[in-house]
Amino acid sequence: MHESTLIDLAAIGIIGIACQWFAWWVRQPAILFLLLAGVVAGPVSGWLDPGALFGPLLFPMVSLAVAVILFEGSLSLRLDEIRGVGQVVRRLVGIGVLVTWSLIALAAHLFVGFAWPMAILFGAITVVTGPTVIVPMLRSIRPSERLANILRWEGIIIDPVGALLAILVFEFMISRSLGAALEHTLSTFASILAVGVALGILAAQLLGIALRRYWIPDYLRNVVTLAMVFGVFVLCNALQEESGLLGVTLMGLWLANMKGVPVEDILDFKESLSLLLISVLFIVLAARIDFEQMRALGWSALGVLLVVQLAARPLKVALATLGSSLNWRERVLLGWVAPRGIVAAAIAALFAMRLDEAGFAQAPLLVPLTFLIIIGTVLIQSATAKPLARLLGVVEPEPRGVLIIGANPVARAIGSALRELDYRVLLADPDWSNIRAAMLQGLPTYYGNPVSERAERRLNLIGLGKLFGLSPGSEMNLLSALHYQREFGRANIYLLRTGEDEIDVAHGKQLFGGEITYPRLLEMLEQGAKIHVTPLTDEFGIDDYYREYFKRSVPLFALTPKGRLRIYTTESEWEPEPGWTLVALVTPRPAAATAEAGESENRSA
């Protein structure tokens, strides 16, 4: 029995990670494969029975997992980023949420027969999209940069906002069920809000001060944060039942927006933990789906899906884009793409169990209807969004920009050179001092680990078609090459040597020639080397260039007359011609040579 349980637990973890990998390989949302795997493992094959496997631990396990997922989601939401997004995004997460919520609630009431409280909760749960489903779809569709930014920011912001809305509706339902008197209902609801808000903010403030003043050693930061999340969740529920999720959500939101608090390492840890929890959680939740409950929903449940896809989203976009500069083609695609994701599934499963315990008769139908919306929107939009974008002519042109791993002096110099050639660049680095220096130079940046789950959601790759590994650490370059090889293709991965070791051709091309390393380029910059852009002509060809600069320059790129970028590597077999533009890092002429050249010119005169 003991060995069988271990085998089941290990199998769930392996299947979950396999689903995540396969989703990355095919560039589709992982939730689709996780839910399908759970359905096959549970109701189809009968192999996985979560109730028998976890027993009384199932409900606490799901509760704690959802608490961590909501904390991680709210920890990534910065209020200054909300203020920085456009008017369309603000409307989508403002009035657009109210429109979607109302229409979905009405559809659940009319088509499925949900009582109004259950219908309103279902509408609140399914307003969220989320970056975990949006980002993989955007990479497959490749819409215009403006549309991609709107969809990506909507998914980032609406995740915690929608979760908080669903929590408030759920807790109002619970408080209302505890007593018939309106005064008691409002009092209980106020207590839930007071406990959740007070403890969430207090815990975030204490943890933020401890992190800011380095009272917690680096190796304990992640586990202390996790322990506090669990503690806040349990303490809130102990003081006022059902206030725990609100507490951890506000804790993450408050901590993320405290000044001077280093949360990047915590985010990386929480993202990895959330990935594991999500992989296990959704297989387990999908395995609990009862086909009898699906049949109880009937074909009328498809009416709810049609309202979500064909009515709620288009109307939301129509109102949000009213008076904007988006054309009708962009509005059509924006009104079609809105897959539901992980937060909706997690909250629906947790609330269904709690409502069932509280005596709500329709609670068991909440999960299958939510999963139907998730699977339906992901399948429909994955199959149709890319052809629709091409038909409407709103796809991004062939990507020609460069993702640069590192924002160090070498990366900044090369990034600036590419910007001068009118190429889009994005510098990614987990070192804030490097990022700050790049921002002062006006270079677009991403602050964080470029191979993290957070980068997967937030790194905007629209318009980028190449990767330059320019970090002084070979491990970061190699990890980035492996991580983005599927995205850009091996032919567009370029790595700079960091020392004596050669670049493995299986990982990418070696930048700038066999003898060029990061330390050498850094040394040249410290000696005053500058980027030179030199047009080649019939009078001043490549041979003349070599005679002038060969001993004190490192050629980086060449730009053809048609604007095509040619990158110097160990494999380069092309030769610049008249009409081309050559870009190189050139050290200053030695003082003696400069004086000699000046005397020669005077004698000639």
Q: Where are the domains of the chain?
A: 2-392, 401-604
> Residues 488, 536: contact at Cβ < 8 Å?
no
Query: Class assignment of domain 401-604?
Result: alpha beta
Greatest C-alpha distance within the chain? 105
Indicate whether 501 pLDDT > 60. yes
- 551: exposed, middle or buried (Cβ count in 10 Å: 0-12, 13-18, 19+): exposed
- Residue 318's Cβ-count burial label (10 Å; 0-12, 13-18, 19+) is middle
Q: Which of 86-95, 280-289, 327-336, 558-567 has the highest mean pLDDT?
A: 327-336
Whose structure tokens read 């933020």?
A: 208
Over residues 468-497, the mean pLDDT reads 86
Average pLDDT over residues 177-204: 76
Burial category of 224 from C-beta neighbours within 10 Å (exposed 0-12, middle 13-18, buried 19 and up): middle
**Using one digit for the tens of pLDDT, what is the confidence trace for 74-110?**
776 676 655 655 788 888 888 899 999 999 999 999 9
Per the document, the length of the chain is: 605
Q: What is the mean pLDDT of the chain?
A: 82
Structure tokens at 436: 């700050």
Read off the pLDDT band of 122 (50, 70, 90): very high
Q: What is the pLDDT of residue 500?
A: 67
Query: Which one-letter amino acid corresponds to residue 444?
Result: P
**Alpha helices per DSSP H over 257-312:** 264-287, 291-297, 301-307
* Helix, strand, coil in percent for the chain, rounding step 5: 65, 10, 25
Cα dihedral: 261, 451, 16, 372 (round 10): 80
Q: Let me know: does 323 contact 335? Beta carbons within 8 Å.
A: no
Q: What is the pLDDT of residue 290?
A: 76
How many of the other CB atoms lie within 10 Å of CB of 527? 10
N-term to C-term CA, the chain: 98
The mean pLDDT value for 299-328 works out to 91
Torsion on CA atoms 24, 29, 30, 31, rounded to nearest 10: 180
> Rounded to whole angstroms, how far apart are CA atoms 75 and 249?
8
pTM, two decimals, is 0.69
Stretch among 154-158, 304-308, 436-440 having the lowest mean pLDDT: 154-158
Query: Has domain 2-392 been given CATH number 1.20.1530.20?
Result: yes
Range of lowest pLDDT (231-240, 387-396, 433-442, 503-512) = 503-512
Q: DSSP secondary structure string, 482-509?
A: HHHHHHH-GGGEEE-B-SSSPPPTTT-E
When pLDDT is cut at 50, 70 and 90, the band that residue 594 belongs to is very low
Which own/partner pairs from 10-15 qualify as long-range (CB within 8 Å, at least 24 positions apart)? 12/41, 12/48, 12/280, 12/283, 12/284, 13/276, 13/279, 13/280, 15/41, 15/283
246-262: per-residue pLDDT in tens?
A: 888 888 888 888 887 77
In sequence order, what are the residues at sequence separation of 6 or more whose Cβ sits closer than 8 angstroms to the Cβ of residue 187? Answer: none
Residues 6+ positions from 54 with CB-CB distance below 8 Å? 61, 284
Q: Say what the pLDDT of residue 605 is.
A: 40
Q: Are 349 and 278 spatial neighbours (Cβ–Cβ below 8 Å)?
A: no
What's 430's DSSP letter? S
